[in-house]
Chain A
Amino acid sequence: MFTNLTKLDLKDKQCMSDAGSPKLCMKALPGEGAERSCAYDGARVVLMPITDVAHLVHGPIACAGNSWDNRGARSSGSQLFRRGLTTDIMENDVIYGGEKKLKESILEIALRHNPKAIFVYATCVSSLIGDDVDKICKEAEVELTIPVIAVNCPGFLGDKNIGNRIAGEVLFDRVIGTAEGPNEKIPLSINLIGEYNIAGDIWGVIPDLKNLGITLQTAITGDAKFDDIRSAHKASLNVLICSKSLTNLVRKMEISYGIPFMEGSFYGIHDTSETLVNIAKALGDPDLLERTLVYVRKKEDETRKIIAGYKTLLENKQAILFTGGVKTWSMVSTLAELGINILAGGTQNSTPEDFQRMKELMDPSAQIIEDTSSAGFLKIIAEKKPDLIVAGGKTKYLAHKTRTPFLDINHGRKLPYAGYQGMVTFAETLTRTVLSPVWGLLKQEFPPKESEQDD
């Protein structure tokens, strides 16, 4: 919780050239407060939205028990991915090893749950007792007709980002490019990378892609089907959504399959348009580009008209923005489109590049949140007295305790904010949050002071 940056043990000093830059490159400080999750969690976040495969956690109960369907990634088809599958390692397994149990679990799943593939996650305990998850998966695969894929991501390897990267590698090594049939590129097709369909985000973008004639080969991994990811190498372009946690993956795909990549974001009107236009440019089709330019202008006008009323209500509100990582910079411009000023901004899991970009977009007077702990956060709320806080769920109840309107933009939210339609939802939700009569009620003195009673 409390972090003193100067005290931190840095693995890579360069990352800290900037005050408040994200803590990507450092270990969590023992005893500082357990805000950050682990590599296992990071891997699961990336892989779990693949909907028609089984996700088997080889570990004691809690690794699976606590993370079972906890992210709000939505599926339009199979719901198999949400099932909490675990070997539930017990004391005997710790003593004698859990490989046999793991093997039987894999076979049981293959036989009875009809998955397209099985991902098997190693956790702290299974790694420490020396279970060879790779070996077991290979053995099982010989007996089965579906891929059984080991994900070596014990929590102790580090935090979430490391897990994200491991997941990217697993997808590249074991899934992408394994589809049967011809390998030629699908014209005007893209993959969205790092889009997990939280609250149905991706469904706010697909209509625009369709209208423009762009084919979504697959998202990695929101609402994804295993076979579509196997064919991800047939796409003409990779679009990295906000986060760079999967940069390793798009780089490798560029080298191996010649798929160029670009970054983009579908949060906010401006960024959505810019991303669509950039996709059109990158796909190199003059017709498409022309269509897109006309399309986004029309969409922008329409959307601005719809949100104008909300903007009047939100104009000049002062916000603190703090994200877990992915959407930081995009959120800065999204809030600006509603006339909201940012008093202070910070990020926890982003890359230094994301952070730089966020900083450039913010008003120079905005403060960078350096101390990203709860304590630092409370301090900044007390100093700045913002009208609202836009952050991830971990900060939600702290914000409420300080009587500050709060909007969750991470996976705890229940509404999609991506694309033009998402912007309308976002504006509407934000307005409801900020203007709730509850805040006024909380600010009333009770019992009322004498003077107030008189008038």
Chain B
Amino acid sequence: MSHMKTSTKATKDWLNTLEYREKNFAREKLVINPAKACQPLGALLCALGIEGSLPFVHGSQGCAAYFRSTLSRHYREPVAAVSDSMTEDSAVFGGQSNLIEGLKNANALYSPKVIAMFTSCMAEVIGDDIKAYLGNAKEQEAIPKDLPVALANTPSFKGSHITGYDTMLKGLVECLATARQEDKINDRLYVVPGFDTYTANLREYKRLLKVMDTPYTLLPDQSDVLDAPNLGTYELYPGGTSITEMNDALNAASFLCLQTYSTPTTRKYLASKEVPVESISMPIGIAGTDKFIESIAKFTGKDVPEEITLERGRSIDAMTDSHQYIHGKKFALFGDPDVLIGLVSFLLEMGGEPVHIVCTNSTPLFKKAMESLLASSPYGQGSTLYAGKDLWHLRSLLVTDPVDMLIGDSHGKWAARDANIPLVRVGFPITDRVNLHRYPIIGYSGVINLITMIVNTFLEEKDRTSSDPYFEMMR
């Protein structure tokens, strides 16, 4: 085998051919421009949403530094976390001494109400038993016996950030909640947003629940932690689901999970504790939001308030005003399973055609769900889901089978640029635009926001590229 001797220009052109696309899709071992993050990052995000909770990475420090900077760049906020900095010695002797010393220091320095401990790959590969280590740490009085420490095994060579989120959430409930007692069942709906990086989505859920007069707990709730007001001082623990509500979680009247693919472990655990639990897709688009509202109304037994009906009416009005800009347009999308289901459902409602759908962290269940969603609409007939593929595959799709717009996170910008199409940023991480996490994409107001982003981007493009006769005041 010899290295191809071609000029850079020729290589570039060749990369845009169908011949290359075929070779690219035959690629199995190598991942190019991945569209997923790893388990501990998801665990870290989850852990931040509990009051007084300190995320603790059992593993090598580099990973932890990466997670923090990735989250920090998305939210433009400081992100707290510690690591027990395992080194070569730990690789040989196990990480117990690091873990114990780390717990001692972390507790002394940060006085957390709960420590959320999760592993990096390194700890997983050497097979550290964090549960046993924690027992020993408490035995040695490294931390007070009654300081809760939630545990999650989050090896990155399995699953993705959404798996880690799920495992940590289960760990937190397992650690903090007291056993379910039939005579102590509370009246609250515990609402689980899932791996959701929009602080505005979380606030919007809370607003809707309030409008619908629902006794609820959002679990976890990072909205105040990662979108803290500037009051002149830095708070290490600026919010989150309260410990009291955590303690009472298994006594919930019911659980409602708003993402399917980032919560299966938690749901299974809840079901095993005989807690009623329901899961729906992320409420993106009208149908998705309707389902959410219906679920809540079913829970409260109350009528849907007029305020919500009016909101829905306004969103649909916005859709009618702008459907012509999306109808018949071709889209490519990439991202996490739950977000993709929501976005595709929204596009189908608008007559948009989601031609290429790339999901690096796909599962067989998701594949089935997406395929049946696509089959349900005439606009989904020309669509293909590419499960387990990366952004380099996506690039091949875009240059050989062009679409009008790409929807995904900031990582998509190279592919969009090579294909000369606009990228509308939805997902995680968004590191090259400001404030997008402060606009909800869920609920009826999310519908309006999505329309605004997508349609105005198209119109912007039109103005930028149109010649004099076609440049006009009205669009």
Contact = CB atoms under 8 A, between A and B. Distances in A.
B274 to A, nearest CB: 32
A108 B230 CA distance: 50
**Interface centre among A59, A62, A442, by most B CB within 10 Å?**
A62
Interface of B: 1-4, 6, 8, 11, 20, 23-24, 27-34, 36-38, 40-41, 56-57, 59-70, 72, 76-78, 80-88, 90-91, 98-99, 101-107, 109-110, 120-122, 125-126, 155-158, 160, 228, 230, 232-234, 392, 411, 414
A94 B33 CA distance: 22
Given A88-B34, A129-B125, A39 B62 contact: yes
Given A31-B84, A87-B29, A114-B6, A64 B34 contact: yes
Contact of B85 (A30, A125, A143): A30
**Interface centre among A63, A90, A128, A155, by most B CB within 10 Å?**
A155
B237 to A, nearest CB: 13
Contact of A104 (B29, B32, B122): B29
A209 to B, nearest CB: 26
Nearest to B115: A31
Complex A-B, nearest 6 residue pairs according to Cβ-Cβ distance, in ascending order: A38-B62, A34-B64, A31-B102, A30-B102, A31-B105, A62-B38
Contacts of B230: 400-401, 403, 442
A112 B233 CA distance: 52
A377 B99 CA distance: 25
Given A1-B110, A66-B38, 19 more contacts: A1-B82, A30-B85, A30-B99, A32-B105, A37-B65, A38-B60, A38-B61, A38-B62, A56-B30, A83-B33, A84-B34, A88-B31, A91-B155, A111-B1, A124-B125, A159-B61, A400-B230, A402-B233, A403-B230
Given A61-B156, A65-B34, A114 B61 contact: no
A12 B61 CA distance: 21
16 contacts: A1-B82, A28-B61, A28-B83, A30-B84, A34-B57, A39-B62, A41-B62, A62-B41, A65-B36, A110-B1, A124-B125, A143-B1, A156-B86, A393-B69, A397-B77, A397-B78
B160 to A, nearest CB: 7
A27 B85 contact: yes
A41 B157 contact: no
B62 A155 contact: yes
Contacts of B107: 31
Contacts of A442: 230, 232
B29 A31 contact: no
A30 B105 contact: yes
**Interface centre among B8, B37, B121, by most A CB within 10 Å?**
B121
A105 B30 contact: yes
A84 B66 contact: no
A113 to B, nearest CB: 8
A114 B126 contact: no
A251 interface: no
A60 B121 contact: yes
B37 A155 contact: no
A27 B84 CA distance: 11
**Interface centre among A60, A93, A129, by most B CB within 10 Å?**
A60
B61 A155 contact: yes
A398 interface: yes
A31 B61 CA distance: 10
A94 B101 CA distance: 28
Contacts of A159: 61-62
Contacts of B84: 30-31
A33 interface: yes
Interface in A54-89: 56, 59-68, 70, 78, 82-89
Contact of B125 (A32, A61, A125): A125
A134 B345 CA distance: 48
A125 B232 contact: no
A37 B30 contact: no
A400 B78 CA distance: 10
Bin the interface of chain A by size.
Answer: 35 or more
A205 interface: no
A271 to B, nearest CB: 29
Nearest to A163: B62
A91 B1 CA distance: 30
A30 B98 contact: yes
A145 B82 contact: no
Contacts of A70: 69
Contacts of A212: none
B65 A87 contact: no
B25 to A, nearest CB: 12
Interface string A111-124: 11110000000001
A393 B65 CA distance: 12
Contact of A29 (B59, B105, B232, B233): B105
B280 to A, nearest CB: 28
Contacts of A104: 28-30
B76 A397 contact: yes
Contact of A61 (B4, B78, B86, B160): B160
B225 to A, nearest CB: 12
Contacts of A158: 87
Given A29-B105, A155-B62, A402-B233, A87 B37 contact: no
A31 B103 contact: yes
A40 interface: yes
B29 A105 contact: yes
A25 interface: no
A173 interface: no
Contacts of B83: 28, 30-31, 34
Nearest to A438: B230
A16 interface: no
A111 B4 contact: yes
A304 B102 CA distance: 51
A82 B78 CA distance: 26
A157 B88 contact: yes
Contact of A33 (B8, B72, B82, B160): B82
Contacts of B110: 1-2
Contacts of A63: 62-63, 66
Contacts of B81: 33-34
A185 interface: no
Contact of B37 (A61, A109, A401): A61
A110 B156 CA distance: 27
A144 interface: yes
Contacts of B160: 61
A442 B229 CA distance: 11
A403 B228 CA distance: 13
Contacts of B120: 124
A252 interface: no
A163 to B, nearest CB: 9
Contact of A128 (B6, B37, B103, B122): B122
